[in-house]
Amino acid sequence: QVQMVQSGAEVKKPGASVKVSCKASGYTFSAYYIYWVRQAPGQGLEWMGWINPNSGDTDYAQNFKGRVTMTRDTSIKTAHMELTSLTSDDTAVYYCAREKRTGGLRLLSLDFWGQGTLVTVSS
Amino acid sequence: EVVLTQSPATLSLSPGETATLSCRTNQSIPMYFAWYQQKPGQAPRLLIYSASNRATGIPPRFSGSGSGADFTLTISSLEPEDFAVYYCQQGSTWPPITFGQGTRLEIK
């Protein structure tokens, strides 16, 4: 069965960086885009960007350009999201999620999600 | 950027009733539109994709409809486990992918 398992909670100081991992299993890793979505406490969902695990190509939300880097390691079926120059506004649960496909068609919806990684930024 | 506006913000209903959740966009969305359910402490769960297709394992009491700039999620005969927060999402015009602000479905 498809699973997305994320790395554990992090506590960081302002100005630091955080790297969150997402290990996929149960499907062909390179065939499905992986998204990163975050959710601040009590707030809604915010798209950060995606990565094509096959090519490594990425697309980032404007709000995060220059601060976020998404990478993947196909040998261990793991995607990573690194966010730099953290502030208290970056305190949130960060999710990875797999984009749904049917045949060769991208459906731009998210059918499997990781459990979330809480990142707390505090001095 | 496509802005999604969900209404109502909170919906109070009893088990057995029918919930109707709305999501309006500020521009027409051709195709890639989804609905998610989120319970406290859990990741979102995909309910509906491409506006009207139920995801795997989603009960038939959940249905999606709409096109253009006006979409609806209907939940018939509410079960106790259906009380949660629901989000709409569009993927037709990107970047960015955008989500609505959510509708909280609570027990009356």
What was the pLDDT predicted at A103? 85
A43 phi, psi to nearest 5 deg: -110, -175
Which DSSP state fits A87? Answer: -
* pLDDT tens-digit map of B73-86: 999 999 999 999 99
Local structure of A18: helix, strand or coil: strand
Distance CA B85, CA B92 (A): 23
Min Cα–Cα distance to chain B from A123, Å: 25
Residues 48-107 of A with CB under 8 A from B: 49-50, 59-63, 95, 97, 100, 107
* pLDDT tens-digit map of B2-29: 999 999 999 999 999 999 999 999 999 9
A47, burial (CB in 10 Å: exposed 0-12, middle 13-18, buried 19+): buried
pLDDT at residue B30 tops 90:
no
Sequence-distant (6+) residues with CB within 8 A of A66 are none
Give the Cα-Cα-Cα angle B93, B50, B68 (nearest 5 degrees): 60
Token pair for B4: 């999604």
Total CB pairs under 8 A between chain A and B: 67
What was the pLDDT predicted at A17? 98
* pLDDT tens-digit map of B45-96: 999 999 999 999 999 999 999 999 999 999 999 999 999 999 999 999 888 9
Q: What's the mean pLDDT when you consider all of chain A?
A: 97
What was the pLDDT predicted at B28? 93
Local structure of B71: helix, strand or coil: strand
**Amino acid present at A66:** G
Contact between chains at B43 and A97 (C-beta distance less than 8 A): yes
Local structure of B80: helix, strand or coil: helix
What was the pLDDT predicted at A20? 98
Q: What's the mean pLDDT when you consider all of chain B?
A: 96
Cα-only R_g, chain A? 14
What was the pLDDT predicted at B88? 98
**Chain B residues whose beta carbon lies within 8 Å of the beta carbon of residue A108:** 32, 34, 91-92, 94, 97
What was the pLDDT predicted at A121? 98
Using the Cβ of A31 and the Cβ atoms of chain B, whether some distance falls under 8 Å is answered with: no
pLDDT band of residue A27 (cuts 50, 70, 90) is very high
* pLDDT tens-digit map of A61-109: 999 999 999 999 999 999 999 999 999 999 999 999 999 999 889 999 9
Min Cα–Cα distance to chain A from B54, Å: 11
Using the Cβ of A45 and the Cβ atoms of chain B, whether some distance falls under 8 Å is answered with: yes
pLDDT at residue B31 tops 90:
no
Say if residues A38 and A94 touch (Cβ distance below 8 Å): yes
Local structure of B37: helix, strand or coil: strand
Counting residues of chain A whose pLDDT is more than 70, the rounded percentage is 100
Among candidates B56, B87, B94 on the partner chain, residue whose Cβ is nearest the Cβ of A45 = B87
What was the pLDDT predicted at B85? 98
